[in-house]
């Protein structure tokens, strides 16, 4: 989930090319709707920390109530330590600093899926 269309589209393309099935959402509210409809299929979530309507922190709070074990990777282009600390407190272990490489995304996602 990311509010920036080019970031979403690029991530979707790269992940699909590497064998992942991808669902995309422009914000946390739509992401939660997707998760509620596909929760058995979703193995991990990549979200932006800062998004309109519902940011990554608020979305992560709700996701943790729905499924405490789903791996969540957070991406950020800002150095907002307060939000990052809040997400860490919600169990998010992996943070991707924009712009991140394809390799960083793939390795981070693979590592999160291994620890699930």
The CATH number given to whatever domain includes residue 83 is 3.40.50.2300
45-57: per-residue pLDDT in tens? 999 998 888 989 9
Place of tokens 């330590």: 81
On whether residue 109 sits in a domain, the answer given is no
On whether residue 105 sits in a domain, the answer given is no
On whether residue 69 sits in a domain, the answer given is yes
On whether residue 104 sits in a domain, the answer given is no
Domain count, the chain: 1
On whether residue 75 sits in a domain, the answer given is yes
Terminal-to-terminal C-alpha distance of the chain: 20
Give the residue from 106, 84, 81 showing the smallest Cα distance to 95: 84
Q: What angle do CA 40, 111, 102 make, to 5 degrees?
A: 100
Per-residue pLDDT of the chain (116 residues; tens, 9 = 90+): 666 788 888 889 999 999 999 999 988 999 999 999 999 999 999 999 988 889 899 999 999 999 999 999 999 887 768 899 999 999 999 999 988 899 999 999 999 999 86
- pTM comes to 0.91
On whether residue 114 sits in a domain, the answer given is no
The residue segments making up the domain with residue 12 are 5-99
């Amino acid at each position: 989930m990311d509010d920036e269309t080019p970031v979403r589209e690029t991530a979707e393309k790269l992940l699909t090319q590497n064998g992942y099935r991808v669902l995309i959402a422009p914000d946390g509210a739509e992401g939660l709707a997707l998760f509620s409809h596909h929760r058995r299929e979703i193995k991990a979530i990549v979200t932006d920390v800062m998004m309109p309507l519902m940011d990554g922190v608020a979305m992560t709070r709700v996701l943790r109530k729905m499924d405490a074990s789903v791996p969540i990777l957070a991406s950020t282009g800002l150095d907002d330590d307060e939000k990052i600390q809040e997400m860490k407190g919600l169990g998010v272990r992996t943070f991707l600093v924009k712009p991140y490489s394809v390799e960083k995304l793939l390795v981070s996602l693979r590592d999160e899926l291994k620890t699930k």
